[in-house]
Amino acid sequence: MKTTTHQTPLLLDHIIYSKLTDEPKRIFLLLHGYLLDGQIMYKHFENIFPKDSLVLAPNAPIPVPLKKKGGYSVKYAWYYFDPEKKNYYINFDPAASFLKEMLSQYPELPTTVIGYSQGGYLAPKVAEVCEQVDEVIGICATFRVNRFQQKNIPYSLINSEIDKVVEIENSREEFLKLENNKGEFIVMPEAVHRLGPEHRNALQEYIKKYHASEE
């Protein structure tokens, strides 16, 4: 039996939660985790950025129906990875292309990509394909250095010592493979994987440290 592949475009409406300003100096692009949505990231982090910022929190391009009592709800994914078979059924490329097209509306604005969990794994790939991205921050994630081409920009991680989803030592090991990286590896001692006040506070301190002058 012979098998072939054929690419078919899937046209869907994608919701992008955004905080607009008249003359933004920087974009902060927020990428949610698996089976979440942009609204969660937007509500959790919207007020920690400089006033002259354009905050974008899109839903990922792959809808995932979830069975619930009385029907279904829809959440989203950036890619599909089978951890048992170590196989990507959908890799980083479609989501990265989707985000590149979205950012093309603002080509003159420098962009910080902030990804949580699955969004954090994807974030360095977005930097690879989007020239305007000059900073990557992952939260409760790992930067798989074999999945993206490193640029001369800072890659930072905010991880937890007690995260039972993302193993911190493996994440640190991958982080140290980045060459001449000026980013930080920040450890939250008491945060779990699920987004909470600790994640918000850690990111807020980072933003104050590196972006306060942009206000």
- Check if the beta carbon of residue 117 is closer than 8 Å to that of residue 193: yes
Residue whose C-alpha is closest to residue 157's, from 131, 138, 132: 138
* Per-residue model confidence (pLDDT) at position 22: 87
On whether residue 11 sits in a domain, the answer given is: no
On whether residue 164 sits in a domain, the answer given is: yes
Number of domains in the chain: 1
CA distance 115 to 186: 15
* Tokens 């999945």, residue located: 147
Give the dihedral sign, CA 99/104/106/111.
positive
Whole-number Cα distances in Å, 190 to 39, 134, 158, 175: 25, 30, 12, 21
pLDDT digits (tens, 9 = 90+) for 33-84: 999 999 999 999 999 999 999 999 999 999 999 888 889 999 999 999 888 8
Give the residue-averaged pLDDT of 168-178: 98
On whether residue 138 sits in a domain, the answer given is: yes
Which band of pLDDT confidence, cut at 50, 70 and 90, is reported for residue 11?
low
Geometric angle at alpha carbon 211, from 200 and 162, rounded to 5°:
30
Which residue intervals of the chain are DSSP H helices? 38-45, 93-103, 118-129, 168-175, 197-211
Which band of pLDDT confidence, cut at 50, 70 and 90, is reported for residue 3?
low
Which band of pLDDT confidence, cut at 50, 70 and 90, is reported for residue 211?
very high
On whether residue 9 sits in a domain, the answer given is: no
pLDDT digits (tens, 9 = 90+) for 84-131: 888 889 999 999 999 999 999 999 999 999 999 999 999 999 999 999
On whether residue 7 sits in a domain, the answer given is: no
On whether residue 120 sits in a domain, the answer given is: yes
* Per-residue model confidence (pLDDT) at position 82: 87
CA distance 151 to 172: 19
pLDDT digits (tens, 9 = 90+) for 139-158: 999 999 999 999 999 999 99
Which band of pLDDT confidence, cut at 50, 70 and 90, is reported for residue 20?
confident
On whether residue 57 sits in a domain, the answer given is: yes
Q: What is the pTM of this model?
A: 0.93
On whether residue 8 sits in a domain, the answer given is: no
Domain span at residue 128 reads 16-214
- Look up the CATH number of the domain holding residue 192: 3.40.50.1820
Q: What is the CA radius of gyration of the chain?
A: 17
Q: In a 3-state reduction of DSSP, which class is residue 212?
A: helix
Count of CB atoms within 10 A of residue 100's CB? 16
Quick one: tokens of 35?
Answer: 């089976």
* Per-residue model confidence (pLDDT) at position 4: 59
Q: Is residue 168 over pLDDT 80? A: yes
